[in-house]
Each structure stands twice: as structure tokens, then as C-alpha cells.
Amino acid sequence: ETEGLTKIFGRLRNPKLAVDHIHFRVEPGQVYGFLGPNGAGKSTTMRMLATLLPPTTGTARVAGHDLRREPALVRQNIGYVAQAGGSEPVMTGRENLVLQGRLFGMDKATATRRAAELTEALEMGSFVDRTVKTYSGGQRRRMDLALGMIHRPALLFLDEPTTGLDPQSRYHLWDEIRKLHAGGTTVFLTTHYLDEADALCHRLAIMDHGKIVSEGTPASLKQQVAGDVITLGMSGELLMKGETVLRNQSYVREIHHRDDALQIYVERGEEVLPNIMRLFDSAALPIQTVALARPSLDDVFMRMTGRSLRESA
């Protein structure tokens, strides 16, 4: 739980407000996500909560301990997996795990036993005794997860856990995160992938320019964008004319431009789509593609910020 958490870099010269007085709460047992583009403040927030970066103002309780007054206790009760990982490439995976366990105060026998447990749980037996520098991206991220879990933390931080992975490796890592949650671990992750946030997170905070612009379950966030979304692909120079044609229609809630397309937010999309097609035909405005869909998390981001997360990420 955070209270006015803020981070300003370069305070004496050209100060930059990276995280702006944010408040949020993560319930035990949740998978909680920060969704936003690069530079939104997600990783900075996570680094503050993991005691790797001091807040400028504000504070938080992490795993039951005060971030400012009890940083050592916070570190004992969390796992942190950075974007770049934390394994030593010239050591084997098993050696990395045992070393990590020793750094958390385990004796060698306990650390070795825990390394074996994680090797089995994360299905790393085929590569754990090779040097980490030989691992694929997916294998390396599974090793990073294991390193973060070596001491059985109550809370696991995952910073952009699937960035750079191929689709198959991403989906496999999603399964591993679900298993961690099923085992009772609270997971806090950052991502700029819309499908990842939708698939994994029980609750989400959408971040932009250091602020939380919306927060809730994926379903409740999408309900903020009422009705259906009709996307009309057309030449860019005709977008403003298309918007003019639609502006006075009572069933149109909102209109946004995205690339060479108009996004039209309406109630009862199936009913009004034929009328929209007739309007464009009468105005001699050619439509190249048509799509009708329910609102997505990207639609929520666009409504809150005025731009697409896909374009910003």
C-alpha cells in the first residue's frame, strides 16, 4: 500500500518528475499489474517498492513492513526480477540458485535442496546444469523467476517479465506466473503488453507520465468505455470529413483517430453500423476496412490519455 509515493530525478538542475504522488493497494494473493508505455514510471515505482531507489516523498508498506523505516525487513520478504535479470552468465543455473540461497542466509544443504525444488517446479532440468550464457531467452527468464523465488517470498516483483521473448516463451512464462499465484505468492508485475495485463492481472493500475490515470479489474476498466467500438479504415486525408459526417449522430458517444482509421464508440454497434455505412456512402467517403468489437484495455488507455498504448509503447 502506497501513500503519495513520489520520485523526482535531478532536483537541483532540470528536475524530472518520474512518479507523481501515487496511491494504490495490492491485496495479498493478487496478481497486480502496472500497465503503461515505456517511461510512464512503472519500473521506477517498482524499484522504490523493492528498496532499490529511495522515494523523494511519500512512503509505502511492502509485505507488511514500512518502506522507509524497515527496508531490511522489506528485502527479506520480497523477490525482485529486473528486466535485465540477475544471473551470473558464466555459472550454471544450479550454481546461481545455490549462491542466491546462500546470500539469503541458507546453509549449503538447504540452498541445494531449494534449488532442486525450483528446478522441478519450473521444469528447468534439461538446462539447469549448463552455464546461463547458453540459455535461450525463455530459459533465462525461468531462471530469473527461480532466483526471485529462492527464499519463498510473500511478494514477487516482476519488471516487464516477458519483454523480448517469442510468443511461445511468453505464454509458457505466463503459465509459470499463474502457478506461482496458485501457490499463494502475491505477484506485482509491470508490462506494456495489453494481452499480458488482460490475461494475468486481477487488478490493474494504468500509468502515464508518472500518474495512475485509472485503476480496477480489467473487466471494470473496459466497462468505463461504454458500448461497442466500430473501427473504419480509410485514407488519412478523409478522417476529418468522416468525423464531420458522424458528429451530429445521437448514437455516437466518442470519435478518435488512430493511424488511418476512425474509432467510433457507440451503443448497439450491430444496429447502427449499417446506418454509418449508408452515411459514408452518401458522402462519397470510401471505407477500406470495417471492424466491430467490444472495448479493449487499449481503448481505456486512449480514453484516459488521448492516445493509443500500442503507439506509445
pLDDT tens sequence across 180-221: 999 999 999 999 999 999 999 999 999 999 999 999 999 899
3-state secondary structure string across the chain:
CEEEEEEEECCCCCCEEEEEEECCCCCCCCEEEEECCCCCCHHHHHHHHCCCCCCCEEEEEECCEECCCCHHHHHHCEEEECCCCCCCCCCEHHHHHHHHHHHCCCCHHHHHHHHHHHHHHCCCCCCCCCEHHHCCHHHHHHHHHHHHHCCCCCEEEEECCCCCCCHHHHHHHHHHHHHHHHCCCEEEEEECCHHHHHHHCCEEEEEECCEEEEEECHHHHHHCCCCEEEEEECCHHHHHHHHHHHCCCCCEEEEEECCCEEEEEECCHHHHHHHHHHHHHHCCCCCCEEEEECCCHHHHHHHHHCCCHHHHC
Q: What is the pLDDT of residue 313?
A: 56
pLDDT band at 304 (very low <50, low <70, confident <90, very high): confident
Express each pLDDT in 18-27 by its tens digit.
Answer: 999 999 999 9
Q: Is the pLDDT of residue 177 over 80?
A: yes
- CATH 3.40.50.300-classified regions of the chain: 2-221
Query: How much is the pLDDT for 112?
Result: 98
d(CA 93, CA 115): 9
pLDDT at 227 over 90: no
What's the whole-model pTM score?
0.81
pLDDT confidence tier of residue 226, bands split at 50, 70 and 90: low
- 310, 194 Cβ separation under 8 angstroms: yes
CATH H superfamily, domain 2-221: P-loop containing nucleotide triphosphate hydrolases (3.40.50.300)
Residues of the chain with CATH 3.30.70.980: 226-294
In this predicted structure, what is the pLDDT of residue 267?
A: 83
Which homologous superfamily is 226-294 in?
A: YebC, transcriptional regulation domain (3.30.70.980)
Residue 161 backbone phi and psi in degrees, to 5:
-65, -25
- Average predicted confidence (pLDDT) for the chain: 92
Q: In percent, how much of the chain has pLDDT > 90? A: 75
What mean pLDDT is predicted for residues 241-255?
A: 91
Record the cell numbers describing residue 119, joined without a space: 528446478
Tell me the mean pLDDT in the region 248-256. 89
Residue from 148, 138, 204 nearest 175 by CA:
138
For the beta carbon of residue 91, count every other beta carbon within 10 angstroms: 15
Number of residues in the chain? 313
pLDDT band for position 311 (cuts 50, 70, 90):
low
pLDDT (0 to 100) of residue 302: 81
Q: Would you give the distance in Å from CA 133 to the centre of its chain? A: 27
pLDDT of residue 166: 87
Look at residue 100 in the predicted model and tell me its pLDDT. 96
Q: Return the residue matching grid coordinates 454509418.
A: 276
Strands 31-35 and 211-216, sheet pairing: unpaired
pLDDT at 36 over 70: yes
Only one residue has cell 522515494, namely: 55
Averaged over 174-178, what is the pLDDT? 92
Residues 126-152: tens digit of each pLDDT: 999 999 999 999 999 999 999 999 999
